[in-house]
C-alpha cells in the first residue's frame, strides 16, 4: 500500500502559513513598519494604492541588509532578533518569529531594495509567490524599501473575502497611527493614492497624539505618570467629558508594543466609575513597562495577544494609576462660547450672531414645527389607528390638534428665536393630560380604557427616522434646510474617506456638503428634520455611527446610513416632551411600515392590560 502522508512543497506550506500572518493589507503594513523600527530607522514612509491591494510600500533609513541577508530574509524562520531558545524569555524587539516576509512573499509580488552603510551599492530582489525571479545589484539609499504588489493575486479566495476599500483603508490607518504614536521620536509619513495623509516629524508623545488623532485631543487629555519599583504606567487618558461611543481610540502599549487585553482595558474603564455614562468609552494612550519575563507575547503570529504572569495585580495597578490621575485633576466641564458668537459695540449691549438661521430654512404655513430634532405635521387624523389596533376607544374628546410655527424675525436674539421657533401651541387635545404622560423622560405612558401602552420614545422615533431616511435614500429625494453662512469642518483621513464614499447618499438624506482639499468639508445645508446648530457635530456623529455599524454589523451601505442617521438624530432618553409632542410621536409611529421594533430589533411599545396587572397583585378572581 502506497504512503498517504506526504510532505508539502515549500511554496504550498508558505501559502498556508501566510494565512496566520497576512489576513488583510493592514497586516502587511504592520509587519513591514515593525521591521523598519527594529532596523533602527528614524524615518519611515508608507505608500499605498487601492487600500493596499495594488501596492503597499514601506521605505526606511534603517541599517539595511547586505546581499546574503537580503536573500535569506525571504526564508521562513529567518530572523536576526533571536538565536537561542532562552531569547524567547527576553524579547525586546517588535518582530522575532522570522515569518513575516516569507508569508507576505507567498501571497504577493515583492520587490526589496536594500543597502547598508558599509556597502557602496545595494541589492534588489524580486520574489513572486515565494519564488525569486530576479536578483541584481542596484543603486539604493541606505536603508530598505519593500514594495508589495497585487496582494493575494495567487489566492483569489482570500482576496474575495477582503472588505471595501473604505474598511481596509481604515484598518491600515489605525495600525499606522498606533505605530506612529508608539514611536513618536521618529518621523513618519503616509501617502494614499498620491495624496499625503500624514507628514509627522519626530516630536513629543503629546504632540504625536494630537497629530495622529486630531486637534480636539489637546484640551481633553490628562497625563498619567504612575509607577513602583517593578512597573511603570505613562501616557495620556481623556477627560470624562471627552468620550466616544466606541473603543477605537483605546490604545495600550506593553514595552512599546501595541497589544490587546480586554482585562487591562477594562481596568482603565472601571477607574472612571460613574464619571462616564453607560455606553461611553474614554480614550487612552497608555504605555506599560514590565519585565519581559513577566509576560508571554509569543501567543499568536499577530503578536497582539499577551499572557501575563500576574494579571490581577496588573489590573489593580492600572486602575489605581488611572484613578489617581483623575482624582488630582479638575474635571469640571467648562462651557465655551464660540468665537464670534457675540459682538460688542462701544456703549451698546452684546448682539447675538444668528448666522446659522436662514429665512428659507423653515416653512411658515402654520402647519409644522420642530422639537427635539423631529418635525410635527398638522394632524389630518386622530390617533384612532392606535385604538383600532389595540382594541380601545379614545378616553377623551376626539378632535384635531395642530402645532403651529409662530412668526419670527431674524433680527431677534438667538435664544429668543429658538424659544419662539420650538414653542408649541396646541388646540384641542386627543386625550386628557391624565391619560398620557412621560415617565422619567424616557417612556411615554398612554392609557386606553383598561390597557396601558408604554412607548420607548427613543426607539419609537428611531424607527420613524429610519423609514423616512431609507425612503429618501431609495428615492434620492433630499429635503435640505440651507444655512445662511456655511460651516467648515476638518475631518481625519478615515472620516474624510467615509464622507467621500457616502457623499451621494448624504445628499439624498438632506446634507448639502462640499468636499474640499486638505480633508475639509463645507457644510451648506442639513436635513430639514434636524434641528439647526452644531452642524459639524451632527455630521461627525453620523460618520462615527456609520463606521461602527460597518464594523459590527456589516450592513448594506444605504441600510447602514439610514440606521446611523436614525440612531444619532432620534430624541434621547432624558429629553422632555410636551403632551402634543408625545401624541404626535405616537401618530407618526403607527403610520410607518413596522412600528413595533426599532431598526435594531428592540421593541418600541409594550402593552400592559388590566388583567395582567391584576395577576401581578394576585387579584385574579376577586
Considering only residues 284 and 381, tell me which one the structure prediction assigns the higher pLDDT: 284
List the beta strands (DSSP E) in 320-365: 342-343, 351-352
* φ, ψ dihedrals at 38, nearest 5°: -65, -25
Considering only residues 608 and 552, tell me which one the structure prediction assigns the higher pLDDT: 608
- Does the structure show a pLDDT above 70 at 82? no
CATH number for the domain spanning 123: value is 3.30.565.10
- Residues 21 and 66 reside in one and the same domain: yes
Does the residue 150 lie in any domain? yes
Neighbours of 287 (CB within 10 A): 20
Cβ–Cβ under 8 Å, residues 479 and 361: no
Average pLDDT over residues 136-155: 94
Tell how strand 122-128 and strand 512-515 pair up.
unpaired
- Side-chain-facing half-sphere of 181: CA atoms under 13 Å: 26
The pLDDT-based confidence of 395 (bands split at 50, 70, 90) is: very low
The pLDDT-based confidence of 356 (bands split at 50, 70, 90) is: very low
- pLDDT, tens digit (0-9, with 9 covering 90-100), for 358-386: 323 323 233 333 333 333 333 333 344 44
Alpha-carbon torsion 100, 101, 105, 110, what sign?
A: positive
Q: Is 32 helix (H, G, I), strand (E, B) or coil?
A: helix
- Residues 198 and 258 reside in one and the same domain: no
List residues bridging with 60 in a β-sheet: 44, 144
The pLDDT-based confidence of 579 (bands split at 50, 70, 90) is: confident
Lowest pLDDT segment from 52-61, 113-122, 332-341, 585-594: 332-341
- pLDDT, tens digit (0-9, with 9 covering 90-100), for 147-191: 999 999 988 888 888 988 989 999 999 999 999 999 999 999 999
- Does the structure show a pLDDT above 70 at 389? no
Q: What is the pLDDT of residue 64?
A: 94
Report the share of the chain in percent with pLDDT over 90. 35
As a whole number of angstroms, the distance between CA 117 and CA 80 comes to 18
Cβ–Cβ under 8 Å, residues 477 and 522: no
Q: What is the pLDDT of residue 225?
A: 96
For the chain, state the CA radius of gyration.
30
Average pLDDT over residues 28-34: 94
Domain's final residue, options 202, 231, 262:
202
Does the residue 274 lie in any domain? yes
The pLDDT-based confidence of 85 (bands split at 50, 70, 90) is: low
As a whole number of angstroms, the distance between CA 308 and CA 156 comes to 38
Does the residue 338 lie in any domain? no
As a whole number of angstroms, the distance between CA 280 and CA 246 comes to 7
Of the candidates 102, 96, 144, which has an alpha carbon nearest to the alpha carbon of residue 119?
144
The single residue listed with the C-alpha cell 493596499 is: 52
Report which secondary-structure segment, H or E, holds 262. helix 262-272
- Does the structure show a pLDDT above 60 at 75? yes
Does the residue 125 lie in any domain? yes
- Residues 315 and 231 reside in one and the same domain: yes
Q: What is the pLDDT of residue 461?
A: 93
Report the share of the chain in percent with pLDDT over 70. 75
- Residues 70 and 119 reside in one and the same domain: yes
- Residues 88 and 46 reside in one and the same domain: yes
- Residues 158 and 34 reside in one and the same domain: yes
Highest mean pLDDT among 414-418, 446-450, 543-547: 543-547
| Ordered alpha helix ranges (H), 308-407 | 311-327, 384-390
Does the residue 220 lie in any domain? yes
Report which secondary-structure segment, H or E, holds 266. helix 262-272
The pLDDT-based confidence of 60 (bands split at 50, 70, 90) is: very high
Cβ–Cβ under 8 Å, residues 110 and 147: yes
What is the count of structural domains for the chain? 2
Does the residue 318 lie in any domain? yes
User: Does pTM top 0.85 for this prediction?
Assistant: no
Lowest pLDDT segment from 38-42, 238-242, 528-532: 528-532
- Residues 156 and 228 reside in one and the same domain: no
Cβ–Cβ under 8 Å, residues 243 and 281: yes
- Residues 156 and 258 reside in one and the same domain: no
- Residues 42 and 145 reside in one and the same domain: yes
As a whole number of angstroms, the distance between CA 243 and CA 245 comes to 7
Q: What is the pLDDT of residue 334?
A: 44
- Does the structure show a pLDDT above 60 at 506? yes
Does the residue 48 lie in any domain? yes
- Residues 220 and 318 reside in one and the same domain: yes
Please state the length of the chain.
622
Does the residue 196 lie in any domain? yes
Highest mean pLDDT among 129-138, 209-218, 273-282, 560-569: 129-138
CA dihedral 463, 468, 472, 477 (to 10 degrees): -160
The pLDDT-based confidence of 93 (bands split at 50, 70, 90) is: low
The pLDDT-based confidence of 90 (bands split at 50, 70, 90) is: low
CA angle 232, 233, 235 (to 5 degrees): 140
Cβ–Cβ under 8 Å, residues 55 and 109: no
List the beta strands (DSSP E) in 173-215: 187-192, 195-200
The pLDDT-based confidence of 347 (bands split at 50, 70, 90) is: very low
Query: Residue 536 CA to chain centroid, in angstroms?
Result: 16
- Residues 161 and 259 reside in one and the same domain: no
- pLDDT, tens digit (0-9, with 9 covering 90-100), for 199-222: 999 999 999 999 998 877 788 899
Considering only residues 447 and 115, tell me which one the structure prediction assigns the higher pLDDT: 115
Average pLDDT over residues 436-460: 88
> What's the domain range around 224?
214-327
- Residues 246 and 187 reside in one and the same domain: no
Amino acid at each position: 500500500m502506497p504512503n498517504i502522508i506526504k510532505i508539502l512543497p515549500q511554496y504550498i506550506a508558505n501559502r498556508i502559513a501566510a494565512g496566520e500572518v497576512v489576513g488583510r493589507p493592514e497586516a502587511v503594513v504592520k509587519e513591514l513598519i515593525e521591521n523598519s523600527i527594529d532596523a533602527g530607522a528614524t524615518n519611515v514612509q508608507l505608500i499605498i494604492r487601492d487600500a493596499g491591494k495594488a501596492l503597499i510600500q514601506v521605505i526606511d533609513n534603517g541599517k539595511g541588509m547586505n546581499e546574503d541577508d537580503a536573500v535569506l530574509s525571504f526564508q521562513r524562520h529567518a530572523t536576526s532578533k533571536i538565536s537561542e531558545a532562552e531569547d524567547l524569555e527576553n524579547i525586546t524587539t517588535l518582530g522575532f518569529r522570522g515569518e513575516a516576509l516569507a508569508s507576505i512573499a507567498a501571497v504577493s509580488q515583492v520587490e526589496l531594495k536594500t543597502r547598508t552603510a558599509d556597502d557602496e551599492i545595494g541589492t534588489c530582489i524580486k520574489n513572486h509567490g515565494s519564488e525569486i525571479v530576479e536578483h541584481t545589484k542596484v543603486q539604493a539609499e541606505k536603508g530598505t524599501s519593500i514594495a508589495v504588489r497585487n496582494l493575494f493575486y495567487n489566492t483569489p479566495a482570500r482576496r474575495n473575502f477582503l472588505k471595501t476599500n473604505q474598511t481596509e483603508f481604515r484598518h491600515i490607518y489605525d495600525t499606522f497611527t498606533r505605530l506612529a504614536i508608539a514611536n513618536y521620536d521618529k518621523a513618519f509619513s503616509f501617502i494614499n493614492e498620491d495624496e499625503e495623509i500624514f507628514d509627522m516629524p519626530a516630536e513629543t508623545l503629546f504632540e504625536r497624539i494630537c497629530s495622529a488623532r486630531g486637534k480636539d485631543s489637546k484640551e481633553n487629555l490628562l497625563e498619567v505618570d504612575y509607577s513602583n519599583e517593578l512597573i511603570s504606567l505613562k501616557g495620556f487618558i481623556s477627560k470624562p467629558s471627552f468620550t466616544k461611543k466606541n473603543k477605537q481610540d483605546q490604545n495600550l502599549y506593553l514595552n512599546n508594543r501595541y497589544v490587546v487585553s480586554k482585562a487591562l482595558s477594562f481596568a482603565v474603564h472601571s477607574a472612571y466609575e460613574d464619571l462616564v455614562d453607560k455606553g461611553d468609552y474614554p480614550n487612552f494612550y497608555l504605555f506599560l513597562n514590565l519585565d519581559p519575563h513577566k509576560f508571554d507575547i509569543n501567543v499568536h503570529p499577530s503578536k497582539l495577544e499577551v499572557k501575563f504572569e500576574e494579571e490581577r495585580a496588573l489590573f489593580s495597578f492600572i486602575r489605581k494609576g488611572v484613578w489617581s490621575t483623575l482624582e488630582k485633576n479638575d474635571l469640571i466641564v467648562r462651557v465655551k462660547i464660540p468665537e464670534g458668537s457675540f459682538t460688542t459695540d462701544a456703549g451698546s449691549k452684546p448682539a447675538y450672531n444668528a448666522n446659522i438661521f436662514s429665512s428659507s430654512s423653515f416653512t411658515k404655513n402654520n402647519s409644522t414645527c420642530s422639537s427635539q430634532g423631529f418635525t410635527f405635521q398638522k394632524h389630518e387624523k386622530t390617533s384612532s389607528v392606535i385604538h383600532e389596533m389595540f382594541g380601545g376607544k379614545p378616553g377623551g374628546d376626539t378632535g384635531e390638534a395642530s402645532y403651529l410655527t409662530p412668526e419670527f424675525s431674524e433680527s431677534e436674539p438667538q435664544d429668543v428665536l429658538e424659544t419662539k421657533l420650538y414653542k408649541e401651541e396646541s388646540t384641542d387635545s386627543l386625550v386628557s393630560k391624565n391619560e398620557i404622560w412621560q415617565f422619567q423622560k424616557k417612556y411615554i405612558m398612554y392609557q386606553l380604557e383598561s390597557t396601558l401602552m408604554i412607548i420607548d420614545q427613543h426607539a419609537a422615533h428611531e424607527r420613524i427616522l429610519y423609514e423616512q431616511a431609507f425612503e429618501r435614500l431609495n428615492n434620492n429625494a433630499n429635503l435640505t434646510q440651507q444655512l445662511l453662512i456655511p460651516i467648515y469642518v476638518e475631518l481625519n483621513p478615515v472620516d474624510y474617506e467615509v464622507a467621500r464614499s457616502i457623499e451621494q447618499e448624504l445628499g439624498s438624506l438632506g446634507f448639502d456638503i462640499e468636499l474640499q482639499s486638505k480633508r475639509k468639508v463645507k457644510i451648506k445645508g442639513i436635513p430639514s428634520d434636524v434641528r439647526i446648530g452644531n452642524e459639524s457635530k451632527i455630521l461627525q456623529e453620523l460618520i462615527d455611527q456609520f463606521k461602527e455599524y460597518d464594523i459590527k454589523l456589516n450592513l448594506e451601505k444605504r441600510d447602514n446610513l439610514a440606521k446611523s442617521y436614525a440612531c444619532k438624530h432620534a430624541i434621547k432618553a432624558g429629553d422632555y416632551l410636551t403632551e402634543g409632542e408625545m401624541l404626535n410621536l405616537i401618530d407618526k409611529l403607527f403610520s410607518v411600515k413596522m412600528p413595533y421594533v426599532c431598526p435594531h430589533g428592540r421593541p418600541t411599545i409594550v402593552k400592559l392590560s388590566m388583567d395582567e396587572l391584576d395577576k401581578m397583585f394576585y387579584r385574579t378572581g376577586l
